[in-house]
Amino acid sequence: MTDDDKVPAAELYTEAFAADPYPTFARLRTERPVCPVGSPRFDSWLITGFDDARAALTDPRLSKDLYGPDQHYLRIFGPNSEGLNRNMLNSDPPEHTRLRRVVSQAFAPRRIEALRPRVAVIVDQLIDKIIPQGESDLMHDFAIPLPMTVICELLGVPPADHGRVLDWTQVIRTSGSTSRPPAEERAAVQEAQLRLHHYLADLVRAKRDDPADDIIGALVRAVDQDRTLSEAELVTTTFLLLFAGHQTTADFLGNAVLALLTHPEQLELLRATPRLLPAAIEELLRFDGPLPVASPRIATEDIDYQGVRIPRGSIVGVAINAANHDPGHFADPDRLDVRRVRGPHLGFGHGVHYCLGVSLARMEAELALSALLRRLPGLRLGVPLAEVRRLPAASPFRGLLELPVTFTV
């Protein structure tokens, strides 16, 4: 790839792109559906059409094994990332199959359904605290703490520790959005990752001495009794569940509420017809999902997509949010339509890495959105849309830093 071929980082990672990436995604999908892009983090190739994206997510020539002999992780996460990131998401079968099997039972639809009453209580407790305020930053008061509390309880993180775990994960999530110099910010992220790593390793040791009926307890048994997991994999799996289990859901809830507040007729439709909610959640995820580009894949050989050659060793990004706005698959794709007949969007991925937490994410979203609509009448944005602060365009996640709202009490 030469610098002339590349879509420059300066064109993609702008404030305008962070506010609305869909015109740029549409242009790329039409003009250069498979193209090299520069980025402040690492250069990669971007795939933006729906059919190509779906094919790429199951293409065995696109590997997720970042910690194999070629050490691709060095380009993506940098050194010292192994202790947290060498997990199922960054591995291929058969390793992936082994790592996923150990926890898949805990996220099976029936097990998740049994959590519904408890999640409803957490939702209500958060809204109880918001109501007397008359206004709220819904990211801070609701969208972040809800999935964080749920995943911490599932894993078995003691309630007294939720606060500091939240602080560390927020440093990682919001990196690039503070006014600190980049070197200082990188150091803060590394520090937060290190602290989280030590904390999780200590927690695992504590669960070994005092066995518990939670996911970490089950993982400890998988290490000690079945030897299906190494001690290091126990920690990386816990980190993945903790991070994947709240970050995407929090950003999804923020994006979903913002989309409804900026499409009041859709909000009213949903208020008037609550049975539309499950389909509306899929539409909101298609419309503005929290993971614009799937996690990085590596081309294990030269690969042709759309007659364009992606050279061996390239990092490949599958642009989920671009694919989900492909007019070849979704009529009038930039229109939010909660009545849209549910089409197979890629918001939860596709193939062996398809989201493990899909049932939990859907249940949390259903309880969260129905409670917000029911209990906060007159919900509206507290600032003009242009003033809503977002994660930076270069963040791997699409989400809001704050979501100020008002409502009638």
Phi-psi label, residue 134: left if phi above 0, alpha if psi -120 to 50, beta otherwise:
left
User: Pick from 28, 37, 56, 88: which binds ligand HEM (CB under 6 A)?
Assistant: 88
CB of 307 to ligand HEM, least distance (A): 25
Buried b (16+ CB within 10 A) or exposed e, 50-81: bebbbbbbebeebbbbbbbeeebbebbbeeeb
Residues 368-397 that bind ligand HEM (CB under 6 A): none
User: By C-beta, is 35 or 53 nearer to ligand HEM?
Assistant: 53
152 belongs to the binding site for ligand HEM (CB under 6 A): no
Size of the site for ligand HEM (CB under 6 A): 25
User: Rounded CA gap, 169 and 61, in Å?
Assistant: 32
Q: Judge contact between 139 and 402, C-beta under 8 A.
A: yes
CB of 249 to ligand HEM, least distance (A): 4
CB of 107 to ligand HEM, least distance (A): 6
User: By C-beta, is 154 or 223 nearer to ligand HEM?
Assistant: 154
CB of 342 to ligand HEM, least distance (A): 15
Q: Judge contact between 333 and 99, C-beta under 8 A.
A: no
CB of 303 to ligand HEM, least distance (A): 17
Q: Which two tokens stand for residue 78?
A: 């940098």
Q: Which region among 2-10, 41-49, 182-190, 246-254 touches ligand HEM (by CB under 6 A)? A: 246-254
User: By C-beta, is 51 or 185 nearer to ligand HEM?
Assistant: 51
49 belongs to the binding site for ligand HEM (CB under 6 A): no
353 belongs to the binding site for ligand HEM (CB under 6 A): yes
Q: How do strand 303-305 and strand 404-406 relate by DSSP bridges?
A: unpaired
Q: Which two tokens stand for residue 329?
A: 């698959």
User: Pick from 21, 36, 156, 245: which binds ligand HEM (CB under 6 A)?
Assistant: 245
252 belongs to the binding site for ligand HEM (CB under 6 A): yes
266 belongs to the binding site for ligand HEM (CB under 6 A): no
250 belongs to the binding site for ligand HEM (CB under 6 A): no
289 belongs to the binding site for ligand HEM (CB under 6 A): yes
The residue of the chain with the least Cβ separation from ligand HEM equals 357
355 belongs to the binding site for ligand HEM (CB under 6 A): yes
User: Pick from 305, 348, 397, 407: which binds ligand HEM (CB under 6 A)?
Assistant: 348
249 belongs to the binding site for ligand HEM (CB under 6 A): yes
The CA-based angle 401-405-409, given to 5 degrees, is 150
Q: Which region among 111-119, 121-129, 288-296, 400-408 touches ligand HEM (by CB under 6 A)? A: 288-296
86 belongs to the binding site for ligand HEM (CB under 6 A): no
User: Rounded CA gap, 408 and 55, in Å?
Assistant: 47
241 belongs to the binding site for ligand HEM (CB under 6 A): yes
295 belongs to the binding site for ligand HEM (CB under 6 A): yes
User: By C-beta, is 88 or 303 nearer to ligand HEM?
Assistant: 88
Backbone angles phi, psi at 283, to 5 degrees: -65, -40
User: By C-beta, is 122 or 285 nearer to ligand HEM?
Assistant: 285
240 belongs to the binding site for ligand HEM (CB under 6 A): yes
User: Rounded CA gap, 288 and 309, in Å?
Assistant: 29
User: Pick from 267, 322, 361, 379: which binds ligand HEM (CB under 6 A)?
Assistant: 361
Where do contacts with ligand HEM occur on this chain (CB under 6 A)? Answer: 88-89, 100, 240-241, 244-245, 248-249, 252, 285, 289-291, 294-295, 347-349, 353, 355-357, 360-361
